[in-house]
Structure 1
Amino acid sequence: MALQRVLAVDDEPFNLEIIEEILEDLDFELKTAASGPECLEMLATFNPQVILLDVSMPKMNGYDVCRAIKSNPDTSHIVVMFVSARGSVEERMEGYAVGAEDYIVKPFGQGELTAKLTKLGQMLLEKDILEQQIEDATTTAFSAMATSSEMGQIVNYIESIGDINDVPTLATALINCMANFNLSCNVEFRVNNEQQHYATSGICSPIVLELFEILKSKGRLHEFTSRILVNYDYVSVLVLNMPEGDDEKHGRIRDHICFIVSVTEQQLLAILTRNELSQQQQNLNGAIAMINSKFKSLMTMLDNNRKQNEAVFRELQEQFERRIPTMGLDEDQELFIYNHVDSAIQKSVAREEALIQVKQAFSEIEADLAELSHKVDEH
């Protein structure tokens, strides 16, 4: 469903006027609330898709309002974007910890707000498209959990990813593995200096992408409320719904997640290595084909030169055999000429032997290249 209904919540009327002015030309139904309690009262009748929620409000601040929205099954699906004059890492992490999907810092311009709302609208559309697929995948995951232990799921995952040869399929397998533990997650793969993102819901929210960027170099493990972020060099996984109320299970699942992410990174590196070797093999095969072509052209040219030399010397020898007896030369002169002709012919024969050696050397080089290509294929 496209984004149609937006609720703006702020205790300052001027701020609400600015939002109304920015959004007046957009195809949104916009309503406003001046406090947290008023916002919660309006949810049953208005049912907004996105709430622009001020953080600093008296009596009930934005964090408390967001907790109330996300803790209610009837309203937890509503997308919350915090609006605040402060944009520190701590502020953003607190916003994410209470369940917000995005964050915008005052003062903001029309372009920034409309761009964020457009992105959130696209996220809503993709969630609707993927909703049935997620439901089916979750049902399958729960069925698998009923018949298999946690370690069995991990072993099955390790065995299954060994045959995977592309990054998106590996990401899907990782998400499905997490689903087998009843975990929803976001995934970032860092491949060839680019970030690739995947999620149980089909798309990572903007605030999740910011957390990946901020925390990817800040240590291996981050835990906040029911969420846990595990970082490796090439893979980061953010789990959204760690088990609560059971410390032993929480710790066990946390250890499982760290191990699974580690194994996933090793398989990712194996995929990248195989892809690189495959590219090198293609490059080598192309170089071998080019060298073979040049060798054959060169050998053809040398062979043609040899045949032309043979024809020239044969014709020259025949001419001498016909003309010398008629030239009236004495025996020493005839012998001198014959010796020089014979010497030239012998030099031609020597060049032909050298050509044979060149052919043999080229054949050995060709065999060495073929053997090298075969060794690369084996690896």
Structure 2
Amino acid sequence: MPGKVVVLDSEKHSVSLLGHILSHLDVSGFSNVEEFLASGDKESDCIVLDGSGMGSSDDELFRMLREHPNTAGIPVIYVGDNLNIDTRLAIYEAGVDDYVSKPFDVADLQAKVTRAMHQRRYERELLDSAENAKQAAFEAMTHSAEQGEIVRFMEQISMCQKLDELAQALLSLLSRFGLNAVFSCWLEGDEWPHYYSHAGSTSPLEQDLMQSGHGGGRIMEFGRRMLVNYPRTSLLIKNTPYEDAARFGRIKDHLAVVLSAADARVSSLNMEERLRQKDKLLDVVADVKQALIDVQHRQDQMKARAASERDDVKLELREELLTLGLHEEQEERMLSLVMDFLKSLEGLYNEAMDWQEDLEPVMQAIEYVVSGGEQTA
């Protein structure tokens, strides 16, 4: 979802220009601060303000934005003329986060808006983390209750047949522990891991961090984050409770047990999938073998019909030779030549059709490989 930017400018063409420059974002325009505040918008990530022609001093505009509860924490970028050092100090003191001098450089404005939005998102993450910590404090469980949650989690994942179900069970458990996390896991043959997050999506930085750290040890700690690794799973905790030593110790132990169980279930899902594929392949081999048997049966029938036709041709030929007025030796010679030719054709036909014995070793080899080296009945 693109970031949301509000442009405050009394001149419509300026609002349109800034909207075009920031077209990769969700841009809303207002001609004055009062109109914007009346809209009730409190989800914006950045405000771009040009106070020229708004009828109020810059200090008054900044004060209105900073005192209103919906906009107090939103970064403000000021666009103005002749921003000397005194003016810059004044607007910073009044609560502006950054500024752009006219005429402004497009790339510079875009970069500053991007930086302001990152700042806003970071502040929201901090607020979310604080809220999660507060909620965890109110809903804190005793050690025995936490162990009970883990036991129920293990019972739940034993019935999970898909990675999505396993991930949802794990993230739900971590939520009850007051943790904000990203879970990744690999199935056999996957080129990239599957990612699951409390936030709904995983950032490229988080994905890169988990991939890079997967071979770095069982537990890696950095800042407020902790990465727990197992062969086919990884867990990134984004709000590790270091401030509560007792709770942190319990959480650390729980994570080792929980992720070990999740990793074992991922491995068993891999095994179950291989067995399903093996059964499917064995069914295919059995179907092919039956098809070959059916083909061989039809060939045997065709050979019998060919032999019968040959005998009929021989009988008809004898009858026809009698009408040609040939003496006995000539008849036998003519009949012998024709029968030798028919016999030769029959041999060539049988040689071309008799491929069952050649295919049988191939079918046995395929069946042996599919069954994993086990002899099948």
Classify the TM-score, shorter chain. 0.5 to 0.7
User: Paired residue for 1:278, among 276, 287, 290?
Assistant: 276
In 1: Cα distance, 2:361 partner to 2:342 partner: 29
Q: Which amino acid letter does the alignment assign opposite residue 29 of structure 1?
A: I
Determine whether 1:30 maps to 2:48. Answer: yes
Aligned to 2:151: 155
Determine whether 1:263 maps to 2:287. Answer: no
Q: Is the 8 A contact 2:47 2:75 kept in 1?
A: no
Compared CA separation, residues 110 and 312, structure 1 to 2 (3 A): farther
Q: Is the 8 A contact 2:153 2:169 kept in 1?
A: yes
Aligned to 1:305: 303
Shift of 1:172: 0.6
Q: Alpha-carbon deviations, 1:338-369, whole Å to 9, x = none?
A: 9999999999xx9xxx9xx9989999999999
Aligned to 2:13: none
What percentage of residue pairs aligned between the two structures are identical? 18
**1:310-325 map, 5 Å:** 310-317=308-315
Unaligned runs of 5+ in 2: 8-17, 29-45, 51-61, 78-106
Aligned to 2:31: none
Aligned to 1:184: 180
Shift of 1:247: 2.6
TM-score (norm 2): 0.53
Q: Alpha-carbon deviations, 1:267-323, whole Å to 9, x = none?
A: 112223323443344344345434543543343234213212123224525765998
TM-score (norm 1): 0.52
In 2: Cα distance, 1:304 partner to 1:155 partner: 67
Q: Is the 8 A contact 2:179 2:238 kept in 1?
A: yes
Q: Is the 8 A contact 2:310 2:342 kept in 1?
A: no
Aligned to 2:72: 47
Compared CA separation, residues 219 and 22, structure 1 to 2 (3 A): farther
In 2: Cα distance, 1:266 partner to 1:51 partner: 50
Q: Is the 8 A contact 1:313 1:345 kept in 2?
A: no
**1:216-227 map, 5 Å:** 216-227=214-225
Determine whether 1:247 maps to 2:245. Answer: yes
Compared CA separation, residues 297 and 193, structure 1 to 2 (3 A): same
Compared CA separation, residues 212 and 362, structure 1 to 2 (3 A): closer
Compared CA separation, residues 207 and 314, structure 1 to 2 (3 A): closer
Shift of 1:237: 1.0
Give secondary structure in 2 for the equivalent of 1:149.
helix
In 1: Cα distance, 2:110 partner to 2:154 partner: 46
Shift of 1:50: 6.5
Q: Is the 8 A contact 2:220 2:228 kept in 1?
A: yes
**1:109-120 map, 5 Å:** none
Q: Is the 8 A contact 1:189 1:234 kept in 2?
A: yes
Unaligned runs of 5+ in 1: 8-18, 33-37, 53-107
Compared CA separation, residues 217 and 365, structure 1 to 2 (3 A): closer
Aligned to 1:211: 209
Give secondary structure in 2 for the equivalent of 1:163.
coil
Aligned to 2:83: none
Q: Alpha-carbon deviations, 1:105-141, whole Å to 9, x = none?
A: xxx8777777899999999xxx9xxx9xxx9xx99xx
In 2: Cα distance, 1:146 partner to 1:296 partner: 69
Shifted more, 42-51 versus 219-228: the winner is 42-51
Aligned to 2:4: 4
Q: Is the 8 A contact 2:285 2:367 kept in 1?
A: no
Query: What is the aligned residue count?
Result: 292
User: Paired residue for 1:229, among 208, 212, 227?
Assistant: 227
Q: Is the 8 A contact 1:171 1:198 kept in 2?
A: yes
Shift of 1:257: 0.2
Q: Is the 8 A contact 2:181 2:197 kept in 1?
A: yes
In 2: Cα distance, 1:199 partner to 1:21 partner: 33
Compared CA separation, residues 338 and 211, structure 1 to 2 (3 A): closer
Aligned to 2:167: 171
Give secondary structure in 2 for the equivalent of 1:188.
strand
Aligned to 2:94: none
Q: Which one has a bigger Cα radius of gyration?
A: 2
Q: Which amino acid letter does the alignment assign opposite residue 302 of structure 2?
A: N
Q: Which amino acid letter does the alignment assign opposite residue 48 of structure 2?
A: L
User: Paired residue for 1:193, among 191, 194, 201?
Assistant: 191
Q: Is the 8 A contact 1:226 1:240 kept in 2?
A: yes
